Amino acid sequence: MKSLLLVATGGAAGAAARHLLSQASMRWLGPAWPYGTMAANILGSLLMGALAGWLAYKVDGGRDLRLFLGVGLLGGFTTFSAFSLETALMIERKQFANAGFYAAGSVILCLMALFAGLYLARKAFA
């Protein structure tokens, strides 16, 4: 039961943070591109890498932190389903180049961000 509460609480906070980021990106950058989703996924990947590195090197009892921060908070913050929908909508609108750039760019940038987070955590905590 404790693990469920950790994940649920973290997930709620992550989803709220993602919503705020999406709203801010719409105000600042407009609706022409899914900036909020891409930013959430890249930032979430960076933070996930940093979290994994931190938990691997420095934390005793990291299970609860992994559940709250990794599964809950970052799981609620990042959004593969929104990414998939936005890509599909671009394809339906025949915006094939945009869909390709968005899909490839999201995957590549998220992987790069995750490795950057791991690298930073290893440097900071190893």
Q: How far apart are CA 3 and CA 77, in angstroms?
A: 18
Which 8-state DSSP code applies to residue 93? T
Q: Can you give the pLDDT of all 126 residues of the chain as single tens digits?
A: 999 999 999 999 999 999 999 999 999 999 999 999 999 999 999 999 999 999 888 777 688 999 999 999 999 999 898 999 999 999 999 999 999 999 999 999 999 999 999 999 999 988
pLDDT at 126: 80
pLDDT at 59: 73
Distances (CA, A) of 64 to 1, 7, 56, 72, 91: 12, 9, 14, 10, 40
Distances (CA, A) of 8 to 31, 72, 108: 30, 6, 29
117 contacts: CB under 8 Å, gap ≥ 6: 45, 46, 47, 48, 49, 50, 51, 52, 53
pLDDT at 124: 93
Domain boundaries, the chain: 2-125
pLDDT at 61: 67
Reported pTM: 0.89
Whether 6 and 52 have beta carbons less than 8 Å apart is answered as: no
pLDDT at 79: 87
